Chain A
Amino acid sequence: LLPCCVQHDGPAPVAAFLRARP
């Protein structure tokens, strides 16, 4: 859940830019 509004619905290379951490 992001603390901002991204004004788009669609693909995003999340794994390329973010690393999930517990």
Chain B
Amino acid sequence: MALSALQRDPAGGGRFASAVPEPCRRLPCALGVDEAGRGPVLGPMVYAICYCPVDKLEQLEALGVADSKTLSEAERERRFGLLEAAGDWVGWALQVLPPDHISACMQQRAKYNLNELSHDTATELIQFALDSGVQVAQVLVDTVGPAEKYEAKLRQRFPGLGVTVRPKADALFPVVSAASICAKVARDRAVLHWNFVEDLGDPDRDYGSGYPNDPKTKEWLRRNLEPVFGFPRLVRFSWGTAQALLRDRGVPVRWADEDPPEDPPAPPSVLSYFARSPPRRPPHRFFQERSLRPLAEL
């Protein structure tokens, strides 16, 4: 099964791809890009490309890949099965971004926000297709953000390719819709088969839709919040929902490089300027350099 490697270790993320069909190496192809799992507070985000020769686009549409958002999970699985069966002329590739990777990017010192991560992932997948020998002629991309800037960026990156970026592109272009199906199926399977790397016994998987406003998801988060360690790696710690719960129910943790507290320190007492005892000599630099201090008590 094409996604069996992903199902064995969803937490590991990574790239998964079909073999490049032989016609795609000879004939000009349309390549669609879409994503799944941008909004949920748990699970990976998946970027997918799907491509086929331009003269096979009508056949692709006939597989029923249009309007993927309206499909049930079972229907999506079925249509992914059809795409796999058409593997002699349809190819696909996925990049699975694990939730801890998303959180780390968003929270690291030099912030790498979700939009930048998304654009870079899409760009890398397109490049992967080119490097794998796919004769990409057109690139069609679904976007939630401003389309013009993203389109200009991709055109600059891939001169010589026709690039079209549109909101709701999955409803307009069958190859984007096919990519959407690949991404959604992959994400659904990753969440369903999630391997908790934490040794938590048998954690319940009743996480609802995974969206922050889903009461079932919120309840799951509350049940699975460990006060010192927070959540399992399935959860995106950088999401506002997760951060609020950690603030309210987690143990406070302070880091040396965090911003100073909002309240300024109290001004020193006037009496402190009239000290009776002479100022204490600082410790020898041998001890200062090594952060070694005497103790008055344990």
Q: Do chains A and B touch in the complex (CB under 8 A)?
A: yes
Question: B251 contacts A3, CB within 8 Å?
Answer: no
Q: How far is the CA of A6 from the CA of B254 in the complex (A)?
A: 7
Q: Cβ of A1 < 8 Å from any Cβ of B? A: no
- In the complex, what's the smallest C-beta–C-beta distance from A19 to chain B, in angstroms? 9
Q: Cβ of A20 < 8 Å from any Cβ of B? A: no
Interface string of B233-260 (1 = CB under 8 A from A): 0000000000000000001111110000
Q: Cβ of B228 < 8 Å from any Cβ of A? A: yes
Question: A4 contacts B254, CB within 8 Å?
Answer: yes
Question: B251 contacts A8, CB within 8 Å?
Answer: yes
Q: How far is the CA of A10 from the CA of B198 in the complex (A)?
A: 20
Question: A5 contacts B254, CB within 8 Å?
Answer: yes
Q: How far is the CA of A7 from the CA of B247 in the complex (A)?
A: 13
Interface of chain A, helix or strand or loop or mixed?
A: mixed
Q: Cβ of B199 < 8 Å from any Cβ of A? A: yes
Residues of A within 8 A of B199 (CB): 15-17
Total contacting residues, chain A, CB less than 8 A:
11
Question: B198 contacts A3, CB within 8 Å?
Answer: no
Residues of B within 8 A of A6 (CB): 228, 251, 253
Residues of B within 8 A of A17 (CB): 198-199, 226, 229
Question: B226 contacts A13, CB within 8 Å?
Answer: yes
Q: Cβ of B81 < 8 Å from any Cβ of A? A: no
Question: A3 contacts B228, CB within 8 Å?
Answer: no
Chain B: CB-nearest residue to A11:
B228
Q: Cβ of B74 < 8 Å from any Cβ of A? A: no
Residues of B within 8 A of A3 (CB): 255-256
Q: How far is the CA of A3 from the CA of B251 in the complex (A)?
A: 16
Question: B198 contacts A5, CB within 8 Å?
Answer: no
Question: A13 contacts B255, CB within 8 Å?
Answer: no
Residues of B within 8 A of A5 (CB): 253-255
Q: Cβ of B227 < 8 Å from any Cβ of A? A: yes
- In the complex, what's the smallest C-beta–C-beta distance from B227 to chain A, in angstroms? 7
Question: A4 contacts B255, CB within 8 Å?
Answer: yes
Interface string of B103-115 (1 = CB under 8 A from A): 0000000000000
Between A and B, 16 residue pairs with Cβ closer than 8 Å are A3-B255, A3-B256, A4-B253, A4-B256, A5-B253, A5-B255, A7-B254, A8-B227, A12-B229, A13-B226, A13-B228, A13-B229, A15-B199, A17-B198, A17-B199, A17-B226
| Interface set of A (CB-CB < 8 Å, partner B) | 3-8, 12-13, 15-17
Add 6 more A-B contacts to A4-B256, A7-B251, A12-B229 (CB < 8 A): A3-B255, A6-B228, A6-B253, A8-B251, A13-B228, A17-B199
Closest 7 A-B residue pairs measured CB to CB? A8-B251, A12-B228, A16-B199, A5-B254, A17-B229, A7-B252, A4-B255
